[in-house]
Amino acid sequence: MLKKNTIQQQEARDAFILLLPLLLLMLIFTVYPVLSNFYYSMTKWKGFGTAEWVGFKNFARAFQDVKFWYSLKNLGILILYIPIGVFIPLLLAAILREGLKGWQFFRSIIYLPTILGYVILGTLFSVIFSQTGPITELLTRLGFENANTINLLGKSNSAIHMIAILFVLFTKLGFGTIYFLAAMSSISSSLYDAAKIDGAGWWRTFFNITVPGISFSVQFFVVLQFIEVFARMYSFIYTLTYGGPGFATYTLEFGIYRQGFQAFKMGYASSWAVILFVCCAIIAAAQIRIIKKGEILK
């Protein structure tokens, strides 16, 4: 018995030694930055020099800042596009699964935006949708008068919707389709055969077999879309609209960059980062609860 306890203690020590480098890296590059951000959010700090403690003044200032409210509004609009951004690749994957002619070539084409990256895509779209870009030129040649006045990215009431269509729907279309295709391969073909025998139509099969069969993959993709919208849009917005026109495409993430690295108001930027962290935490908790509830219902 004593020998068994000694072996278990040795294994525990070995495991701790193996995990120690990873724990140190996590403390240095994850835990410490997060905790220090909470501290600096309550200070007046330029990113260098001495930080002056100001308490909750940065948060009070944020709630009176028009840019902050524009950021929340824009994030809300982007979130509304997420269900569409999940449904379209899911539907496309289901169609391709049927063995559409030339689907392998089509799969390669739709995956191309994922390979290019957000900086390249943002730059390309900024040229394509500019007032003097190829789309305006094409519309003019087709006989549309004043085609240059359309300028969807240059108008405050349409810019954020164009961002949502391009980022939430288009850039994730290829990855989502391939991801759902891979997930659908785990569904037994006997289920589809039984559905055909029962006379179930395509849509009924889609909603009663395909979607429930990959429910976990769908939930994961929804979580991924939220992460992309909240924490990975900076480079796309920077190259496409730079937050404009005005604050029409401003987001919390982009605002953190502008306040911290351009205005050198690191303390104020940190307060925005804390608010972004809280928003993400609330959404993550809600999603975990929904996933667990779905597992219980099964």
Q: Which domains does the chain have, with CATH numbers?
A: 57-297 (1.10.3720.10)
ω into 33 cis (within 30 of 0) = no
Whether the CB-CB separation of 170 and 125 falls below 8 Å is answered with no
Residues 6+ apart with CB under 8 A from 22: none
Place of tokens 């391009």: 166
Whether the CB-CB separation of 135 and 166 falls below 8 Å is answered with no
> For strand 52-53 and strand 43-44, is the pairing parallel, antiparallel, or unpaired?
antiparallel
Closest CA to 264 of 40, 45, 51: 45
Task: Name the 3-class secondary structure at 44.
Answer: strand
Q: Which helix (H) or strand (E) element contains residue 84?
A: helix 82-97
The token duo for 215 is: 């429910």
Residues 6+ apart with CB under 8 A from 60: none
Tens digit of each residue's pLDDT, the chain (298 residues)? 555 667 777 877 878 888 889 999 999 998 999 999 999 999 999 988 889 999 999 999 999 999 999 999 999 999 999 999 999 999 999 988 877 666 667 777 788 888 888 999 999 999 998 888 888 888 888 888 787 788 888 888 899 999 999 999 999 998 999 899 889 988 888 888 888 888 888 899 999 999 999 988 998 899 889 989 998 899 999 999 999 898 999 999 999 999 999 989 999 999 999 999 998 888 888 888 877 776 554 5
Specify the amino acid at residue 194.
A
Residues comprising the chain, all counted: 298
Within 10 A of 270 (CB to CB), how many other CB atoms are there?
25
Which pLDDT score is estimated for 282?
87
Looking at the DSSP bridge assignments, the partners of residue 53 are 43
User: First and final CA of the chain: distance in angstroms?
Assistant: 43
Alpha-carbon distance values, 28 to 33, 86, 176, 259, 270 (Å): 7, 35, 34, 25, 18
Place of tokens 């840019």: 67
The token duo for 264 is: 């050198």
Whether the CB-CB separation of 251 and 72 falls below 8 Å is answered with no
Q: Taking the CA of residue 174 as centre, how many other CA atoms within 13 Å lie in the half-sphere pointing to its CB?
A: 17
If you write DSSP's letter for every residue of 183-195 in order, what string do you get? Answer: HHTTS-HHHHHHH
59-66 long-range Cβ contacts below 8 angstroms, 24+ apart:
59/271, 59/274, 59/275, 61/268, 61/271, 62/268, 62/271, 62/272, 62/275, 66/247
Single pTM value for the model: 0.87
